[in-house]
């Protein structure tokens, strides 16, 4: 067994017991990252920084003063600003931007003792479901091969691929419409999107501010619980971070599901429903019932409108957020005849096609004469979507069980049509629209490729949600990609 | 609703995106496809429904209106494409 096969919980315990040293664990990861450059998971490995942090961790561990994640090497999605380390959001428009500050989430992780292995690939500004919109090129899913080049999902495709291929112990991700859960499902990893407001958004490059939320991608549910405990915080720098105490989510893991009520929403089926997907969904239901949960069938009638409302709300917020990229304060600048021409030339050269598409849609739906018909109506539909969930939770349902994605990892270049690509997030988007926590857990393999099941919880009930996820994981087992 | 070439050109200017005619035409197709997809929202009855303004039940925090940060212009300007004397430099805007 290689050092890189240790889960976060195992690595943490061995480090604390001084059975292994962070320097050797970190070196093993640096070697693994070098050996798998063809996956394109890391766009900026930081081996020197990693070695330095590992050395400092070992010194602390030596004197028994280590933090809760002391010496654990992590990968960071390149949407999190890291002080002194280039941060690009995988867009050309940020150029060689080097943040003079650290995002709150990564600050929390470093304060807990974690080691930074580098920055991970993503879809440009987190807009995509396949990692193909990245200015640094796509990421290879370690479940694919040279003959079958598969997407690791998106937007956190670098994170999911790196966790699946054991190129970090765990990774950070962000989720606006499914960007943590969908890539986790497509790579056989665990992906957790916390309740909106659980993690601070400060220092995370903004996409759609009312939907964006940070969370972990990990190999196990336990590791996700540990990561969340050290990512979440109440933060004065983010007025939407909510004043609810952060729990020890790991301590809550083994509570089991006895007496819990799990809802199966009938609207989460697609036509045609792939057979394997329907089978795993049914299987998940049985696993939870066997473990003592009560299964109830519920209805969330506005589910079918969530994706359409999302593709108004998210681009509208994106078009506002991305107005800041004007070639004046940071990033690349393309000269022009006057200042407007400079803005237009800079933005034309700096943004990729998908980002432009969303800025255009967002600008249009917010423009005079169309605001009420599109944006205001979408926000009303969003209220109805949230109300559906509230009604179900009011009936005593503790969590909902659904598939995470409509299918397994697809081939790179396989979905050229924008709306077809958007449909990949059909089961994950409603969760963001309602601000709820959601987690994707590997359910099993179909034709050799992983599929995930999603659990949706009540606001700020991550502890309850993760104990149910742990039960699912125990029944389903864990899945590692074939050796390359 | 669908958009015409003229509207796409106007929106591109509002969004400060320089586009040639070929790109305008391509965006027109993409936008009409997406707008066609979101059209289904018209069938939802939203009478008397409040538009969402906050997804979680939390009161937006307030704080005293005092300076809590700053005083490091060099760090603020460190990533500027052009800067001088503690300012960002842009092309001339006043003749």
B7 part of contact set with chain A, CB < 8 Å:
yes
Select from A423, A444, A463 the least CA-distant residue to A281.
A444
Q: Say if residues A347 and A326 touch (Cβ distance below 8 Å).
A: yes
Contact B58 A243 (CB under 8 A): yes
Mean pLDDT along residues A271-295? 95
pLDDT at A484: 65
Percent of chain A with pLDDT over 90: 95
**Residue B87 touches partner A, C-beta closer than 8 Å:** no
Does residue A86 belong to the interface with chain B, where contact is any CB pair within 8 Å?
no
Which domains does chain A possess? 3-256 (3.90.1300.10)
CA distances from A88 to A41, A55, A445, A481, B35 (A): 14, 27, 34, 29, 30
Q: In A, residues 420-459, which contact B (CB 8 Å cutoff)?
A: 422, 433-435, 459
pLDDT confidence of residue B92: 87
Cβ atoms of A50 and A72 within 8 Å: the answer is no
Q: Provide, as residue numbers in chain B, all residues whose Cβ is less than 8 Å from the Cβ of A201.
A: none
| pLDDT exceeds cutoff 70 at B16 | yes
**Token pair 């952060």: residue:** A246
Minimal CA separation from A362 to chain B, in Å = 9
Tens digit of each residue's pLDDT (9 = 90 or more) over A190-209: 999 999 999 999 999 999 99
Which chain A residues have a beta carbon less than 8 Å from that of B75?
100
What is the per-residue pLDDT for A44?
A: 98
| Nearest-by-Cβ selection for B27 from A335, A360, A382 | A360
Please judge whether A379 and B52 are an interchain contact, meaning their C-beta atoms are less than 8 angstroms apart. Answer: yes
Contact flag A359-B1 (C-beta cutoff 8 Å): no
First and final C-alpha spacing in chain B: 42
Candidate from A243, A367, A380 with C-beta closest to B51: A380
Is the minimum CB–CB distance between A389 and chain B shorter than 8 Å? no
- Position B94 scores a pLDDT of 83
**Residue A1 pLDDT greater than 80, yes or no:** no
Per-residue model confidence as pLDDT tens digits over A457-469 = 999 999 999 999 9
Place A139 in a pLDDT band, splitting at 50, 70 and 90.
Answer: very high
pLDDT digits (tens, 9 = 90+) for A384-411: 999 999 999 999 999 999 999 999 999 9
Q: Is A429 helix (H, G, I), strand (E, B) or coil?
A: helix
Partner A contacted by B5 (CB < 8 A): no
**E strand or H helix at A190:** strand A190-193
Give domain limits for chain B: 5-40
Distance CA A465, CA B24 (A): 46
H helix or E strand, kind and range, residue A275: helix A275-290
State the best of B14, B34, B35 to mutate against chain A, taking most chain A CBs within 10 Å: B34
pLDDT of residue B57: 84
Residues in chain B with CB shorter than 8 Å from the CB of A326 are 16
Distances (CA, A) of A155 to A126, A129, A151, A174, A412: 5, 5, 10, 8, 14
What is the β-pairing status of strands A170-175 and A73-77? parallel
Binary contact (A239, B60; C-beta < 8 A): yes
The C-alpha of A31 sits at a distance from chain B's nearest C-alpha, in angstroms, of 32
- pLDDT the model gives residue A272: 82
- Minimal CA–CA distance to A276: which of A192, A190, A193, A185? A185
**What residue of A is the nearest CA neighbor of B91?**
A339
pLDDT over threshold 90, residue B95:
no
Token digits of residue B82: 């052009």
- The residue with tokens 């190999």 is A219
Average pLDDT, chain A: 97
pLDDT greater than 90 at residue A300: yes
**pLDDT category, A271, cuts 50, 70, 90?**
confident
Q: Mean of the pLDDT values across residues A442-457?
A: 97
Active-site residue flag, A440: no
**pLDDT band, very low/low/confident/very high, at A374 (cuts 50, 70, 90):** very high
* Whether pLDDT at A84 is above 90: yes
Whether A77 is a known active-site residue: answer yes
Chain A residues within 8 A of B11 when measuring between CB atoms: 360, 363-364, 367
Taking 80 as the threshold, does the pLDDT of residue A255 lie above it? yes
Cα angle A51, A55, A58 (rounded to 5 degrees) comes to 135
Sign of CA dihedral B37, A212, A139, A470: negative
Instruction: Give B73→chain A minimum CA distance, Å.
Output: 11
Catalytic residue flag (residue A49)? no
Chain B residue with CA closest to A98: the answer is B79
ipTM over 0.90: yes
Give the model's pLDDT for residue A163. 98
Distances (CA, A) of A352 to A5, A44, A89, A151: 37, 20, 12, 19
User: Does the distance separating the beta carbons of A302 and B44 come in below 8 Å?
Assistant: yes
Span A252-269, mean pLDDT? 95
B21 to chain A, any CB pair closer than 8 A? The answer is: no
């Amino acid at each position: 067994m290689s050092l890189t096969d240790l889960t976060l919980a195992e690595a943490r315990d061995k480090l604390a017991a001084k059975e292994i040293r962070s320097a050797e664990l970190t070196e093993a990861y640096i070697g693994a990252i070098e050996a798998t450059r063809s996956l394109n998971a890391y766009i900026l490995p930081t081996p020197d920084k990693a070695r330095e942090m590992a050395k400092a961790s070992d010194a602390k561990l030596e004197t028994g003063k280590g933090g809760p994640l002391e010496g654990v090497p992590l990968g960071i999605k390149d949407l999190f600003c890291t002080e002194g380390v280039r941060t690009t959001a995988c867009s050309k428009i940020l150029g060689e931007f080097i943040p003079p500050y650290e995002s709150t989430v990564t600050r929390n992780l470093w304060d807990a003792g974690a080691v930074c292995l580098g920055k991970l690939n993503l879809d440009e500004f987190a807009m995509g479901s396949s990692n193909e919109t990245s200015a640094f090129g796509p990421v290879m899913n370690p479940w694919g091969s040279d003959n079958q080049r598969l997407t690791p999902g998106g937007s956190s495709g670098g994170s999911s691929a790196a966790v699946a291929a054991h190129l970090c112990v765990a990774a950070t991700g962000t989720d606006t419409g499914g960007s943590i859960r969908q890539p986790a499902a497509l790579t056989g990893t665990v992906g957790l999107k916390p309740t909106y407001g659980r993690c601070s958004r400060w220092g995370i490059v903004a996409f759609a501010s009312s939907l964006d939320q940070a969370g972990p991608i990990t190999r196990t549910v336990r590791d996700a619980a540990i990561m969340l405990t050290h990512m979440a915080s109440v933060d004065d720098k983010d007025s939407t971070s909510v004043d609810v105490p952060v729990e020890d989510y790991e301590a809550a893991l083994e509570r089991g599901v006895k007496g819990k009520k799990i809802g199966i929403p009938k609207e989460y089926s697609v036509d045609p429903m792939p057979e394997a997907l329907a089978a795993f969904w049914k299987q998940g239901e049985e696993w939870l019932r066997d473990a003592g949960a009560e299964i109830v069938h519920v209805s969330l009638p506005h589910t079918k409108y969530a994706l359409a409302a999302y593709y108004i709300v998210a681009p509208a917020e994106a078009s506002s957020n991305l107005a800041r990229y004007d070639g004046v304060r940071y990033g690349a600048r393309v000269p022009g005849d006057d200042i407007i021409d400079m803005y237009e030339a800079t933005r034309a050269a700096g943004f990729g096609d998908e980002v432009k598409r969303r800025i255009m849609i967002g600008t249009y739906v917010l423009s005079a004469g169309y605001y009420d018909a599109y944006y205001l109506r979408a926000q009303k539909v969003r209220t109805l979507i949230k109300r559906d969930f509230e009604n179900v939770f009011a009936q005593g349902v503790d969590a909902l069980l659904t598939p995470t994605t409509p299918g397994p990892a697809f081939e790179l270049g396989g979905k050229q049509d924008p709306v077809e690509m958007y449909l990949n997030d059909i089961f994950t988007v409603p969760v963001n629209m309602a601000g709820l926590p959601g987690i994707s857990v590997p359910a099993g393999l179909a034709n050799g490729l992983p599929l995930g099941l999603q659990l949706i919880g009540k606001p700020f009930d991550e502890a309850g949600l993760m104990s149910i996820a742990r039960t699912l994981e125990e029944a389903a087992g864990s899945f590692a990609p074939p050796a390359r | 609703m669908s958009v015409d070439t003229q509207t796409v050109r106007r929106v591109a200017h509002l969004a400060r995106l320089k586009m040639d005619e070929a790109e305008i035409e391509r965006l027109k197709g993409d936008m009409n496809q997406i707008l066609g997809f979101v059209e289904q929202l018209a069938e939802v009855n939203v009478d008397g429904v409040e538009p969402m303004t906050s997804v979680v039940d939390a009161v937006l925090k307030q704080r005293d209106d005092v300076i809590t940060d700053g005083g490091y212009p060099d760090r603020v300007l460190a990533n500027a494409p052009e800067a001088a004397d503690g300012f960002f430099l842009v092309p001339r805007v006043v003749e």
